[in-house]
Structures are given as structure tokens and as C-alpha cells.
Amino acid sequence: MRTWKWMFTAALLVSVSAAAQQQSESQPLTQPDAAAAVQPSAAPGSQPAGSDSQSAKSTTPAPTPSALPQPTTMDQVVDRFIEREHGLMKAMANRTPVVETYLQNLTADPQLGPVPSADHYFLGRMDMGESIDRKDYLKEQDKGMETRLMGGFNKLFKVQYQPLGFSWMVYADRTDFDRSHYDFHYIRREFLGDVRCLVFDVTPKKNSGRGRFQGRVWVEDQDYNIVRLNGTYAPAPKNSYFFHMDSWRLNLIPGYWVPAYIYSEEGDFSAGVKNKMAFKAQTRIWGYDLKKGDKDDELTQIRVDSVKDESSAAQDASPLQAERQWQQQAEDNVIERLTRAGLLAPEGDVDHILQTVVNNLEVTNNIELPRPVRTRVLLTAPLETFSVGNTIVISRGLVDVLPDEASLAAVLSHELAHIVLGHNLGSKYAFNDRMLFSDDSTYNNLGFKHIPEEEAAADKKAIELLNNSPYAQKLDNVGLFLKALQARATQLNALLTTHLGNPLATNGTIDRLAALESKGPALDNNKLDQVAALPLGGRVKVNPWDDKAEMVKTAPVAITSARDKMPFEVTPFYPRLARYGASTTQSTTPATAAANSTPGAN
Ligand SMILES: [Zn+2]
């Protein structure tokens, strides 16, 4: 029996009222797998129930921080954080997290300030070991971009961004972070979120070589780990630049702060400045706890789901039941494979909200399906939805930019329509051999695009579903969102390039639910209460260790000018830092995680 749940998800989701806007993400606080953190060989997925920091610390590669005497001079503090930085590199050396960089080139708009003029998207796995081995999910990659000029880009004929360059700043210096290459100057104490830090300026010594870190580091004052780096590299090699970066780490495992977010920005729009290049970029790192995607490994990981006994009644399946079980198997295979590749968040908080919205659509349309509709979050930024069997998948980026619940309902209704219309009955993925591929070729091996006729039918059905739903009165907002998307569609080609599902727009024109675009008032930047679309990063935060996604809770911030709206734009990161296991006032830590917290980690 489904119940009518009127949208109290609104409290979570529509916290952006007309005059308010979300800020960038805050700190993920869910509990990572402590054991796997310091015992890289530990089986992933093993729960840290009994394996708390005590057992973990005994195998910590670097000396256990709390066992060492507290430094008494700033020189000792410097020695300690240098040592901790090397300890982190060692602890992370066999991790291969997912790295995503989304970059927007900027141009000056007299009314809106710097606005996106084009965009670029990179997704890959990063080998945290010393040798840089770049693996990309994306089909077409310019091999020429893979050079040793990490952290920079070539200036030859056109600006070429180095995909891995943006993640280079996970460490200050991979090889020579020491006193013989750098000078360290203590500046002051400062809080970052809940964490008190010591701030140091770091400058390379003369003749210490090219591409040395130059900037500032924040060091937490308990175990003396670097929690933030801000600066650039110098001097730059010939014909290339190093860009500026602000790199943040999160205390997701006991004793270590792991690289999570990097914001990069270049460009000066002051009067008289001739800007040659201007961009801003967000780099996100997640999937630390994923298994290393090594070929042999891939094959041994494939599990054939034969253990489950589905036959509660000891009967043979009828042909129709067999068909449905077969489809279920295909769906389960795909969802499991995408999760294992680090592309889907495990089922969690955000899904409850998505499912409530789907439920609202189903109940008001009297939809009864033989199998329940499930939802999952795709962890990537490009705006896309797709569905596999009865599972609707929506990307993190799309949830981020949607202004309200009605708009969320609209994008979900299209996928629900595919399910209702029986468009998702393909079952070729029920054969397990089709799941045998390496993580980085996921996009080559899976795809859920529909033919144009099915797309049109799904849109038509979606509008019918919406018109019968509680969202019927709020379709003006959906219209506004589509207008905002249309206004930026040409410039945001990479954000609108989907990898698994059908695109929302092609060649700069909205396809999805285009009939709703005429709804609502005209787009007007001067109307400060008209928020048609949000910046990226304001809604969903992902725990980089275990990939769990949850809704961000930020206090509303008043919009004071058209420049504050920043629809679909990249903004700096300002995560609220907290220590492992600590709960903050803004904490969204589930009760179970809080109960597991280790006092020793504080
Ligand atoms: Zn579709």
C-alpha cells in the first residue's frame, strides 16, 4: 500500500526559496571503512564494526600520530607535517580513486560578470602511486594531453588542459616535500570549519627546480596533517603555465586527511587587463575504497547472482514471471556493475527523497507496477538521467542545478514514463559476460539511450503524469528551468553531453520536455527572486571514501545581484572541515556513524 506523502521532502529539497541560494558543499561526515584505510589489502566493503582505529593504527604506515610527543616549536611542527604528508602518500599509494574535473571557460558579461563561454569535462581513475597512470572512462581522449606537465597546460597553439593536471595538487610535492627544497614560514592560527589550524607559507628554495609548490598550507593542530593547500607551482616550464589551485582534504579515515576537492581558477576581468585565458574548474575525487581496477581482478570480482533464492513459493516460474525475473537480473547486474566502477552512489539518503517524488507521481496517476521503482544517484556532474529496468538514475550534477521539487519531478517523470510504457524491457545485460569489462571502459560497454520515437512518447507521457500530480501547479518553475538551460545550452556542451542516457539537449537546443519550456514567465536576470537554476555543487555531497551521497544542508544566503545567481556555474569549494567521527552543528551524520565514532580519533 502506497501512502500519499505530500512533499515534506520540500524541507530538504526546496530549501532554496525564491530569494535564497545554496552555497558550495559542506563536509561529508559519514563513516568510512576504517580498516581498509590503513590496510589497503583489506577486503573492501568490510564493515569497520570491530575494526576501529585501534587495530587500524597498529598498521599505520607512518608513526602513530598520537603516540608522538606534541611538537613544542614551529620547527618541530614543520618536521611533523612533512612527515605526515609522506605518510599520507604512502597510505594512499595503492588507491585508484575516480577523478572528475569540470571546467568552464569564462567571458565577461556586463550584467552577469564572468559567465561560461565553453566547457570541458574529464573523468578518469587516478593512480595515487608515484607513477602517474591515467585511465579514462571517456571514449575519445587526446593522447597528447598525457604529458609530464602535470598541473599545467601547454600554450603552444591553443590552450590544452591536462585532465590530470587538476588533480596534481592532491599533494604539495610528490617527490621533494622537505626542508632542503622549501622554506616554511608560520603565519597564524585559523579555524577551518571546526578544525583549528596552523597556517604556513611555503616557498621553494632558489634553484630547487621547476614546478615547485608555492603557496600556503593549513595544518590541523592535533596530528599535524595538511588539510588544505592553496597556491600554484613555480617556475613554469617553457610554453606552459601552472594554474592556481585550492585543494581541500577531509578526515574520512582515522589519522589521515584525504584529498577530496580542488578548485582552480584563472583570469582577471579588471578594466585594462587583457585576459588571454579565464576559467574556473572543480575537481572532485571519490571512490577511494574502490577495488583497484586491475584486469585479473576485474574477472575475479564478477559474481554470478545465483545464490539468491527468489522462489518463495516453491513453484516454477510462469513464462511471464520468468521474463520479469530475467529483466530484474539484467537491472541488478547493471546497477551493481556501475556501483563497482565508482559511478553510482550506494543506495542512501538522496534516494529516499527521489523515491518520495516518484511515489507522488505514481500515486496520483494510479500507477501499479509489478516491481517497485527504485532510484540511484550517478556520481558525475554532466546533467543526465536514464533508467535501467525499474531503476531511475539521475546525476549528481542534475540534482544540484534543479531549482525545486517540481523540476526534479519533471526530470524523473520522463524516466518513469519509460518504465510505464515498457521501454526498459531490454534484458541483454542479464548475461553476465556482458558485465566483464574494465572500469575505465564502462561507457563503451553500457548504454541506455532510447530511440527518438520512445523519447517523444516518454515526454508526452511524462507531461500527462505531471499534469495529474501535485506538481501540476508548479510547472512554471520547470518552464523557467528549461529556459535557463536553453540560455546556456550552447556554452555548456560538455555539461550536457551524457555518457549513458539520452541528452537533455542536442546542438544547443532543449529536447527533453521541450513542451514545458513555454511555461512560466520570461527569464529575467534582474528579477532577484527568480531563481531558475542553481550553481553546481549546492545540493548533493559525496563521501569520497565510500561514495555515499547525501543532501547538503546549507543556510540560505540572500541573492543581492544578478551575479549571485550563477546558474549551472562552477563555484569555489568551502567544505566545513570536521575531525573524523566528530559531529558538528551542521552535521548530517547518521546515528549509526555517530555511534561508531572513535574517541581516540578526536
Ligand atoms: Zn528518455
Mean pLDDT of 509-538: 92
* Residue 404 confidence (pLDDT): 93
The pLDDT of residue 325? 87
- Relative to beta strand 385-388, strand 391-395 is antiparallel
C-alpha torsion sign, points 277, 525, 380, 40: positive
Q: What are phi and psi of 579, to 5 degrees?
A: -75, 155
pLDDT of the residue at 274: 61
Q: Name residue 439's amino acid.
A: D
Residue 18: predicted pLDDT: 28
* Residue 448 Cα to ligand 1 middle (Å): 9
| CA-wise closest residue to 380 among 395, 363, 392 | 395
Percent of the chain having pLDDT more than 90? 49
Contact 396, 351 (CB under 8 A): no
* C-alpha distances in Å from residue 295, one per residue of 300, 430, 548, 555: 9, 22, 26, 45
Cell of 499: 555518457
| Centroid of ligand 1 to alpha carbon of 194 (angstroms) | 44
Q: Which is higher by pLDDT, 336 or 303?
A: 336
510-527 b/e (C-beta count within 10 Å ≥ 16 → b): bbbbeebbebbeebebee
* Model pLDDT, residue 290: 84
CA–centroid distance, 410 to ligand 1, in Å, is 12
Q: Rounded CA gap, 570 and 279, in Å? A: 10
**Cβ atoms within 10 Å, residue 249:** 25
Q: What phi and psi values does residue 63 have, to the nearest 5 degrees? A: -55, 140
- pLDDT value of position 161: 58
How high is the pLDDT of residue 602?
31
Q: What separation in Å is there between the alpha carbon of 457 and the centre of ligand 1?
A: 9
Q: Which of 28-32, 123-127, 133-137, 504-508 has the highest mean pLDDT?
A: 504-508
Q: Is the pLDDT of residue 562 over 60?
A: yes
Does the structure show a pLDDT above 80 at 105? yes
- Is pLDDT at 297 greater than 70 in this prediction? no
- Cα angle for residues 18, 21, 24 (degrees, 5° grid): 165
Distance 142 CA to ligand 1 centre (A): 30
Confidence of residue 588 (pLDDT cuts 50, 70, 90): very low
In this prediction, residue 7 has a pLDDT band, given cuts at 50, 70 and 90, of very low
Q: Give 65's pLDDT tier (boundaries 50, 70, 90).
A: low
What three-state secondary structure class fits 236?
A: coil
Q: Given its phi and psi angles, is residue 175 left (phi above 0), alpha (psi -120 to 50 degrees) or beta?
A: alpha
| Cα–Cα distance for residue pair 228/172, rounded to 1 Å | 10
492 C-alpha to ligand 1 centroid (Å): 20
Q: Of 343, 334, 306, nearest to 434 (Cα)?
A: 334
Measured distance CA(8)–CA(357) in Å, rounded: 10
- Distances in Å between the Cα of 223 and the Cα atoms of 37, 66, 86, 547 are 17, 7, 14, 25
pLDDT in tens, 229-283: 999 988 876 666 778 899 999 999 999 999 999 999 888 777 666 656 788 999 9
Residues in the chain: 602
Q: Is the pLDDT of residue 567 over 50?
A: yes
pLDDT of residue 599: 33
CA angle 448, 341, 331 (to 5 degrees): 40
How far does the centroid of ligand 1 lie from the alpha carbon of residue 500, in Å?
11
CB 539 within 8 A of CB 551: yes
Least confident window among 42-46, 211-215, 348-352: 42-46
Ligand 1 centroid – CA 413 distance (Å): 10
Q: Which of left, alpha, beta for 529 (phi over 0: left; psi -120 to 50: alpha)?
A: alpha
Cell numbers placing 486: 536553453
- pLDDT class for 139, splitting at 50, 70, 90? very low
Spatial contact of 448 and 388, defined as CB atoms under 8 Å apart: yes
Tell me the CA–centroid distance for residue 111 and ligand 1, in Å.
Answer: 36
Range in 12-21, 78-87, 201-210, 509-518 the model is least confident about? 12-21
* Model confidence, pTM: 0.80
pLDDT tier, 56 (very low <50, low <70, confident <90, very high otherwise) = very low
Q: What would the mean pLDDT of 46-63 be, rounded to a whole number? A: 37
Alpha-carbon torsion (324, 327, 328, 329), positive or negative: positive
* Measured CA distances, 385 to 170, 392, 499 (Å): 30, 7, 10
Q: What is the pLDDT of residues 447-473, one digit of tens each?
A: 889 999 999 999 999 999 999 999 999
pLDDT value, residue 158 = 41
SS3 562: helix
> What average pLDDT does this structure show over 201-209?
92
Distance 305 CA to ligand 1 centre (A): 28
What is the CA(124)–ligand 1 centre distance, in A? 26
Give percent of the chain with pLDDT exceeding 70: 74
Look at 336 and 141; give whichever has higher pLDDT. 336
Query: Which DSSP helix (H) or strand (E) runs through 91?
Result: helix 74-92
Asked if residues 584 and 578 have their Cβ atoms less than 8 Å apart, the reply is yes
Count of helices and strands (H, E) across the chain: 13, 22
For residue 558, the model assigns a pLDDT of 85
In terms of Cα–Cα distance, which of 480, 485, 559 is closest to 522? 480
Cell of 515: 513542451
Tell me the chain's radius of gyration from C-alpha atoms: 24
Handedness of CA 478, 498, 332, 347 (dihedral sign): negative
pLDDT beyond 50 at 350: yes
Distance CA 487, CA 170 (A): 35
Question: What are 407-427's pLDDT values in tens digits?
Answer: 999 999 999 999 999 998 777
What is residue 51's predicted lDDT score, i.e. its pLDDT?
Answer: 36
For residue 415, report the distance from its CA to the centre of ligand 1, in Å.
Answer: 6
DSSP sequence for 331-395: HHHHHHHHHHTT-BPPS-HHHHHHHHHHHHHHHHTT---SS--EEEEE-SSS--EEEETTEEEEE
Is the confidence at residue 165, as pLDDT, over 80?
Answer: no
Which is more confidently placed, 322 or 165?
Answer: 322
Cell reading at 463: 507531461
Question: How far, in Å, is the centroid of ligand 1 from the Cα of 455?
Answer: 5
How far is residue 532's CA from residue 409's CA, in Å, rounded to a whole number?
15
The pLDDT of residue 299 = 40
Please tell me whether the peptide bond between 235 and the residue prior to it is cis, using omega within 30 degrees of 0.
Answer: yes
Q: Identify the CA nearest to 183 among candidates 209, 203, 199, 200.
A: 203
Residue 346 pLDDT more than 80? yes
Residue 314: predicted pLDDT: 57
